[in-house]
Amino acid sequence: MKILVINGHPDKGSFCQEIFRTIVENIDSNHHELESINLNEIDFDPVLRYGYRKRMEEDSFILRSQELIQWADHFIFVYPIWWSSMPSLLKGWIDRVFTPGIAYSANNKGSFILNYLRGQQFKKLLKGKTASIYATSMAPTWWYKVFSGSINIPDSYGISVLKNAVLNHCGIKTKEVSILGELGREVNTNSTRQKYLQKVAEEVKALDKEKVWFI
């Protein structure tokens, strides 16, 4: 399987960096091909400055990222949940990389509603691919276990925006969700974090298992 790992935390000293490192180091190279993107090491413009009105100047990193999302069979996203969403660095990367013609296409003719009901409004260009999400948050993990589905309360957006609004829209099925909650609180000790990293290592060694994790 071709695996692309993306770290969306802007801080190189973050716990997400440790999760990212653990994932990369524990993917079985005998069975998988691996590519990784650590966004805090890349100097790129994360702002889609003209929307879709006109194209920005070509950026080799963005072009390479678009090649990788088309190449990959499975994505692994690592990021913190801030203000019920992903960091702007990761959101900006998605804005610039998951563009029309690359990740999806839209029908600009006729009625949006009728097209949508007929399944003719959008085409999922990354259909058949899968994803895992590893997120950290100050909120308790059980909060996301209960509310990260279809119930639209603010904190559920931390997962559902990526899982449903982005990945599903492009045809990517999220198979695993793993969240370390209460990061930065007293109850989240070093022992807790080390146990979590051990769990992460075990999970990436078993990517073919269709399971959703809440830790």
Report DSSP letters for 142-208, one per residue. Answer: HHHHHHSSS---GGGHHHHIIIIIIIIHHTPEEEEEEEE-STTSTTS-HHHHHHHHHHHHHHHTTTT
Q: What SS3 state is found at 134?
A: strand
CA distance 144 to 157: 10
Q: pLDDT tens digits for 136-189?
A: 998 887 776 666 555 545 446 678 889 988 999 999 999 988 999 888 888 889
pTM of the prediction?
0.89
Please state the domain extents for the chain: 2-204
CA end-to-end distance (rounded Å), the chain: 25
- What SS3 class is residue 14? coil
pLDDT in tens, 56-115: 998 999 999 999 999 999 999 999 999 888 999 999 999 999 999 999 987 788 888 886
How confident is residue 214, by pLDDT bands cut at 50, 70 and 90?
very low
Strand partners, 105: 123
Note the CATH number of domain 2-204.
3.40.50.360
Rounded Cα distance between 110 and 206, Å, is 45
pLDDT higher than threshold 50 for residue 212: no
